[in-house]
């Protein structure tokens, strides 16, 4: 899945399809035939979140121009990716409100879950000028937040706090990005899979440090045992049945395989990493460790692992497992 946004035209080449349709720099492409005109935030993917089918032939475009919304007719049906190829654009409307804290400036002044933030005062929220950055520039000062809500534009005035309650932030909002499944050539998708797996491995390796530093809460670093994994697999299988896409099963299989490999290589007795540690110690010492002592260490380690597994299983039964919202991840 790729993070998606709406394209705002930055330049229109003469005699291009965009010029023929009358698009202007600053226009935000909102809809094509009533469907959201989404593009990937990642420049390397651009419009590949659009599946190449005839359903993408546009006849009417809905565009945000200045402070108004205009409809543009397409004389001859053109594919949406073809239209996007004819313009230079930057991604906007990529920040969605996922949650609101009680008694927060955002909630008290009318912001709603699901709103897409467009701009703060007169500055558009982008990858380079994030919502957090712009809000921090107006602490304890009224600001005007413009948001896109179910096809309508709303302007809300609120004052961000310089000393908010812990974990809430200046406005008291939880933010995130929409995602869609990206379509790319086979070889490129294989490489992207390798990159994603590598990023996941690095995250798992860094997780203990992030936990100690307080960057990750205990609930976010929750471990899962057989019961939790079974629930995750069941959720992925159900998502595949519902959407007809194999991605949930493939993605979860890759994540579980990487997690198992990393866990097995930890330098802990009874794991392969523990055995490699003993080999390293023997190599440095120049003589072998007493097999009985090594066996005892591995047995103790194995018992500790069984105890940890029992504890994790009890936690899975008591608190449940954080489910993956595959439908939201795939944009379904």
Over residues 242-269, the pLDDT tens digits come to 888 888 998 888 888 888 888 888 888 8
**Averaged pLDDT score across all residues of the chain:** 85
DSSP designation for 289: P
| 291 or 147, higher pLDDT | 147
On the question of pLDDT at 322 being above 50, the answer is yes
- Record the pTM: 0.71
Question: Does residue 31 belong to any structural domain of this protein?
Answer: yes
On the question of pLDDT at 104 being above 90, the answer is yes
| 271 or 54, higher pLDDT | 271
Question: Does residue 314 belong to any structural domain of this protein?
Answer: yes
Question: Does residue 211 belong to any structural domain of this protein?
Answer: no
| 147 touches 116 (CB < 8 A) | yes
Question: How confident is the model at residue 321, as a pLDDT?
Answer: 67
Domain count, the chain: 3
Asked if residue 107 and residue 24 are part of one domain, the reply reads no
Asked if residue 102 and residue 64 are part of one domain, the reply reads no
- Report which listed range, 21-25, 153-157, 307-311, 314-318, is most confident: 153-157
pLDDT one-digit tens code per residue, 173-202:
999 888 887 777 788 888 888 888 888 888
Question: Does residue 22 belong to any structural domain of this protein?
Answer: yes
Place of tokens 């809500």: 149
Region 158-164 average pLDDT: 92
On the question of pLDDT at 273 being above 80, the answer is yes
Asked if residue 314 and residue 275 are part of one domain, the reply reads yes
Question: How confident is the model at residue 332, as a pLDDT?
Answer: 66
Question: Does residue 291 belong to any structural domain of this protein?
Answer: yes
SS3 state at 180: strand
Asked if residue 280 and residue 243 are part of one domain, the reply reads yes
Asked if residue 319 and residue 227 are part of one domain, the reply reads yes
304-310 long-range contacts (CB < 8 A, ≥24 apart) are 304/269, 305/268, 305/270, 305/271, 309/225, 309/226
Question: How confident is the model at residue 54, as a pLDDT?
Answer: 47
Asked if residue 128 and residue 159 are part of one domain, the reply reads yes
Asked if residue 107 and residue 30 are part of one domain, the reply reads no
pLDDT one-digit tens code per residue, 199-225:
888 887 787 777 677 666 666 666 778
Question: Does residue 161 belong to any structural domain of this protein?
Answer: yes
On the question of pLDDT at 99 being above 80, the answer is yes
Lowest average pLDDT, out of 115-124, 149-158, 177-186, goes to 177-186
Residue 246 belongs to what domain range?
222-330
Asked if residue 321 and residue 257 are part of one domain, the reply reads yes
Question: Does residue 188 belong to any structural domain of this protein?
Answer: no
On the question of pLDDT at 50 being above 60, the answer is no
Percent helix, strand and coil across the chain, each rounded to 5? 40, 25, 35
Q: Which of residues 152, 180, 208 is at a domain's end? A: 180
Question: Does residue 216 belong to any structural domain of this protein?
Answer: no
For 106, half-sphere exposure in the C-beta direction (CA atoms, 13 angstrom radius) is 27
Q: Which of residues 89, 118, 135 is at a domain's end? A: 89
Closest CA to 177 of 226, 131, 234, 237: 131
CATH number of the domain enclosing 135: 2.30.42.10
Asked if residue 142 and residue 85 are part of one domain, the reply reads no
Asked if residue 39 and residue 22 are part of one domain, the reply reads yes
Q: Which of residues 34, 58, 89 is at a domain's end? A: 89
Question: How confident is the model at residue 263, as a pLDDT?
Answer: 85
Asked if residue 176 and residue 99 are part of one domain, the reply reads yes
């Amino acid at each position: 899945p790729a993070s998606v946004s709406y394209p705002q035209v930055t330049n229109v080449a003469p005699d291009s399809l965009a010029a023929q349709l009358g698009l202007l720099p600053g226009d935000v492409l909102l809809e094509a035939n009533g469907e959201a005109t989404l593009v990937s935030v990642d420049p390397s993917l651009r419009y590949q979140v659009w599946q190449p089918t005839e359903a993408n032939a546009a006849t009417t475009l809905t565009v945000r121009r200045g402070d108004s919304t205009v409809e543009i007719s397409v004389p001859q049906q053109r594919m949406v990716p073809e239209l996007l190829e004819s313009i230079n654009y930057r991604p906007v409307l990529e920040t969605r409100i996922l949650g609101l804290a009680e008694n927060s400036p955002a909630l008290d002044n009318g912001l709603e879950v699901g709103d897409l933030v467009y701009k703060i005062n007169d500055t558009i929220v982008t990858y380079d000028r994030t919502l957090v950055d712009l809000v921090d520039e107006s602490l304890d000062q009224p600001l005007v937040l413009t948001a896109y809500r179910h096809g309508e534009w709303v302007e809300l005035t609120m004052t961000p706090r310089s000393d908010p309650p812990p974990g809430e932030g200046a406005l008291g909002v939880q933010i995130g990005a929409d995602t869609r499944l990206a379509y790319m050539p086979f070889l490129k998708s294989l490489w992207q899979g390798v990159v994603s797996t590598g990023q996941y491995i690095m995250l798992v390796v860094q997780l203990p440090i992030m936990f100690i530093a307080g960057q990750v809460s205990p609930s976010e670093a929750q471990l899962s045992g057989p019961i939790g994994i079974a629930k995750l697999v069941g959720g992925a299988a159900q998502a595949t049945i519902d959407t007809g896409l194999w991605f949930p099963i493939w993605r979860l299989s890759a994540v579980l395989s990487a997690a198992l490999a990393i866990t097995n290589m930890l330098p802990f007795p009874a794991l392969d990493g523990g055995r490699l540690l003993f080999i390293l110690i023997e190599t440095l010492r120049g003589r072998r460790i007493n097999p009985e002592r090594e066996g005892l260490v591995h047995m103790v380690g194995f018992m500790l692992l069984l105890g940890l597994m029992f504890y994790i299983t009890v936690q899975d039964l008591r608190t449940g497992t954080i489910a993956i919202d595959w439908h939201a991840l795939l944009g379904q």
